[in-house]
Amino acid sequence: MIVWAMACLAISACTSPSPAPSVATYTNPLLPAGADPWVVYRDGMYYYIHTTGNDLTIRKTRRMVDLALAEPVTVWTPPASGPYSHGIWAPELHFLDGAWYLYFAADAGENESHRLWVLENPSPDPTVGTWTMKGKLADPSDRWAIDGTVFEHAGRRYLGWSGWEGETNGTQHLYLALMENPWTLAGWRVRIASPTYPWETVGDLTDAGDGLTHVDVNEGPQFLHRVGDGGGQVFIVYSASGCWTDAYTLGLLAADAGSDLLDPASWIKYPQPVFTSGPGAHAAGHNSFFTSPDGSENWILYHANPEPGLGCGGQRSPRMQRFTWNADGTPRFGQAAPPGEELPGPAGE
């Protein structure tokens, strides 16, 4: 043993084994507050945004486990008045056709005027450069709209959102429309889902104490496709029931990947929620999805309240956890992880 050790000192190629790399861990929540969380991964960086209500602020980080350390950068502040001056809700950040786009809902000071709006930034980094208002994103009906999301499938680009059928406060349905470009729709909207099951209609006409009339809700649509499954199905995961209730949860729509996504008959709604709240994670919902940097894992990012009965207020906080897939190809989300539980972070971070 002594001879071997002395030989190792004399021969540079003789080294002891390197320790295995440590796996980054995290605990939920990721931030003290932040509703409607959204993240996109590009060029080795995560870009994260959530609802603040009065501006658009992005955090940039190499690791989602370090989100709390990322500096918030306010990239856009609304004007004091006008059609997009108030109620800045559910922003999403997308890189499309060589530029960054921010989609968000806003109004002129009254809920009935909520519409979707689009900002553009040609900078490679969305936290720098100039954001230019491209305008309102609406179909010819121009109805109340929130929670806009953009996705591409089979060579076509779609906008999904939650909206009213008429001009006054009513049931929130889910709609799809084709996009002509990142700031223009190509035609009329198509309604693909409405709240029908009992777990989707909790809070109907409930007085939430905010001066609004509340009704049945389907909102926060998010597109999901299992990469590498040979086609199969595509999904839209959405939030159901009033956010002012503890029944707020996630539902699932499924369609054949080769079907016409603008045909409502293509979509099947699952009869039960697919994601449930847990201890310290109440009213879990309004999610987005991302994959780990090495592409091997699927992750859900969502908000939840630390205690029951907190409603849609400022205590909703962003949380994340890995999810897997069932044998039939549907996503298996399970239950919201409790706060403070140490979990392994995304693979490749």
Active site residues: 36, 219
The Cα–Cα gap between 312 and 132 comes to 30
> Which H or E run contains 3?
helix 2-10
| C-beta neighbour count of 155 within 10 angstroms | 5
247 in Cβ contact with 63 (< 8 Å) = no
b/e burial code for range 98-127 (CB count within 10 A of at least 16 → b) = ebbbbbbbbbeeeeeebbbbbbbbeeeebb
| C-beta neighbour count of 47 within 10 angstroms | 23
CA R_g for the chain: 22
41 in Cβ contact with 349 (< 8 Å) = no
Which residues fall within 8 angstroms of residue 316, CB to CB, at 6 or more apart? 33, 34, 35, 283, 303, 304, 305, 310
Strand partners, 318: 303
The Cα–Cα gap between 311 and 146 comes to 18
Q: Count CA within 13 A, CB hemisphere, residue 130.
A: 3
